């Protein structure tokens, strides 16, 4: 089973989004993180199942929230490149590759 690793910028996005949602409504940040974790479990189980975002990345949508997990499958590793707000410029994360 592949390991999951976050780029520092992707971890920052997760943390910042948690704080934003938690500020909006108590426990909403926790619900967001739970949905991200659910999506990561699906990615680990089916890494090739999601839509290609570029030649080396895929995007899995986060249920209920306007976010996508941009990731790369590398041997026995899932590298999370971005926790992307889908309302932002679509490919802002490409320079991270």
Q: Residue-wise pLDDT tens for the chain (97 aa)?
A: 789 999 999 999 999 999 999 999 999 999 999 999 999 999 999 999 999 999 999 999 999 999 999 999 999 999 999 999 999 887 788 888 8
Instruction: Provide CATH code, domain 3-86.
Output: 3.30.2310.20
CA separation for the pair 49, 45 (Å, rounded): 9
Q: Answer whether 89's CB lies under 8 Å from 96's CB.
A: no
In this prediction, residue 94 carries a pLDDT of: 81
Q: Answer whether 5's CB lies under 8 Å from 80's CB.
A: yes
Domain residue spans of the chain: 3-86
Q: What is the pTM of this model?
A: 0.92
In this prediction, residue 20 carries a pLDDT of: 97
């Amino acid at each position: 089973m592949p390991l999951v690793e976050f780029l520092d910028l992707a971890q920052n996005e997760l943390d910042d989004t948690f704080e934003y949602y938690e500020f909006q409504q108590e426990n909403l940040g926790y619900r967001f993180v739970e949905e991200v974790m659910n999506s990561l479990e699906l990615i680990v189980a089916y890494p090739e199942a999601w839509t290609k975002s570029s030649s080396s990345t895929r995007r899995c949508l986060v249920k209920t929230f306007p976010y996508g997990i941009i990731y790369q499958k590398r041997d026995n590793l899932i590298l999370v490149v971005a926790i992307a707000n889908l309302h932002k410029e679509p490919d802002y994360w490409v320079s991270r590759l």
